[in-house]
Every structure is written in structure tokens, then in C-alpha cells.
């Protein structure tokens, strides 16, 4: 009996440790299941060559194409973000700079994964307005686009070539990320 209680106690301890770790990584109730926020960055070109899934959701605002199909022939960045995500606030100005620098050749589509129970469409618009971005914002209320792409954390961006293939994936955001993404975009524009 003592051995059984010890095993049960161990399971309880490991369960609590897992829960504590999950709470430390989490950033709030607005994030969909299995999509933690993160500040670290990694470039995974493992999806290179894979056709980019379509973006679907509620169009919130912004200028330019709001779907992969509408942006065909251009370099596209599909950026998954949320209003609770602090690194997202840092990445948005960099994406706006890319859109401004490569007007007509680069499209950024910001895909919000905020839950409708936690934010309104006005909250999402306010986030974009506060950061002075003009690129299209789509609200993935039902997380269908996120399910298709499977972003591992917030933010995650997918750099897509002119043929509609995912070439680079960036999970998280760090200050060095801007130059790396800009270089990838420049290479894909050649």
C-alpha cells in the first residue's frame, strides 16, 4: 500500500510541476490551446516548399490583400499574433517597415488568434491602430487558420515565396529577427 501511495504522490508532484511550468509559459486566457507566447526566436525552414494554407477569418482592417490567393505573385508574411502578446507589439513595426519599403511586392497579413470571449473586434483594431500598422488584419476567431498552420507560439510568422510556398518560419520574436526576416524577404524578391 505504501508503494502505491508513493507512486500516487509522485504523479501528483509531477502533475503540479507540469501545471506550474505551463502557467509560467502562458501569457493569459486569450490564447488558444497549445499556442504559448514566447520571446525566443527560431528559424525553421523545414516547411520550405510546402504550399501555404489559405488565410480565413473576419477581415478587421488594413490595406492590401488579406488572403494568400489575393497576394499571389508577391512575397507574403503571414504573422500569427494576439493582443496579449508583448513580443507581437515589437514585431508589428518591423513588418510595417517591410511593407513600406517594398510597396506592392511584399504583403503582410496579421492573423489574430484572440478568443472572442476575451476581446472584441474593436480591441483588435485598437491594437493595430496603436502600433500604426496599415497591413491587413484578419481575426481567426475559430482558429481555423491557426489549425492549418499550427504556430508553436505567439508570435509566429511564415515567410512565403511568390509561388505560395512556405520558405521560412519564425517562432517568437527577438530584436535580431528584423534583419534576418528582411534578408529573407530581399532574397525572395530577387
The predicted pLDDT at position 15 comes to: 36
- How far apart are the C-alpha atoms of 160 and 156, rounded to whole Å? 13
Residues 56 and 107 in one domain: yes
The pLDDT of residue 155 is above 60 = yes
Per the structure, how many domains does the chain have?
2
| Parent domain of 77 | 31-189
Average pLDDT, the chain: 81
Count of CA atoms in the C-beta half-sphere (13 A) of 62: 30
Residues 105 and 170 in one domain: yes
Residues 59 and 70 in one domain: yes
Residues 64 and 131 in one domain: yes
What's the average model confidence in pLDDT over 104-133?
97
Instruction: Tell me the CATH number at 178.
Output: 3.40.30.10
Residues 59 and 134 in one domain: yes
What's the average model confidence in pLDDT over 125-146?
97
Which residue did the predictor score with more confidence, 48 or 84?
A: 84
Intra-chain end-to-end CA distance of the chain, in Å:
70
Over the stretch 14-43, which tens digit does the pLDDT of each residue have?
Answer: 333 333 333 223 333 333 333 334 333 444
**pTM of the predicted model over 0.85:** no
Residues 60 and 139 in one domain: yes
Residues 43 and 22 in one domain: no
Grid cell for residue 188: 525572395
Q: Summarize the chain as % helix, strand, coil (round to 5).
A: 40, 20, 40
Residues 23 and 45 in one domain: no
Instruction: Name the phi and psi angles at 126, rounded to 5.
Output: -60, -40
Residues 9 and 82 in one domain: no
Which residue did the predictor score with more confidence, 25 or 137?
A: 137
Amino acid at each position: 500500500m505504501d508503494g502505491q501511495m508513493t507512486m500516487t504522490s509522485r504523479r501528483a508532484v509531477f502533475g503540479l510541476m507540469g501545471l506550474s511550468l505551463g502557467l509560467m509559459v502562458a501569457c493569459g486566457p486569450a490564447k488558444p490551446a497549445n499556442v504559448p507566447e514566447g520571446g525566443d526566436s527560431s528559424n525553421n525552414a523545414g516547411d520550405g516548399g510546402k504550399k501555404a494554407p489559405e488565410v480565413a477569418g473576419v477581415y478587421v482592417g488594413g490595406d492590401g490583400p488579406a488572403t494568400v490567393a489575393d497576394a499571389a505573385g508577391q512575397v507574403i508574411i503571414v504573422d500569427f499574433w494576439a493582443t496579449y502578446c508583448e513580443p507581437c507589439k515589437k514585431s508589428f513595426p518591423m513588418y510595417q517597415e517591410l511593407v513600406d519599403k517594398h510597396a506592392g511586392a511584399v504583403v503582410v497579413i496579421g492573423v489574430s488568434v484572440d478568443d472572442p470571449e476575451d476581446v472584441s473586434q474593436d480591441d483588435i483594431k485598437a491594437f493595430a491602430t496603436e502600433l500604426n500598422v496599415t497591413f491587413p488584419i484578419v481575426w481567426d476567431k475559430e482558429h481555423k487558420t491557426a489549425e492549418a498552420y499550427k504556430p508553436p507560439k505567439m508570435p509566429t510568422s511564415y515567410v512565403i515565396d511568390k509561388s505560395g510556398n512556405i520558405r521560412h518560419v519564425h517562432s517568437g520574436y527577438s530584436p535580431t529577427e528584423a534583419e534576418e526576416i528582411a534578408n529573407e524577404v530581399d532574397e525572395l524578391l530577387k
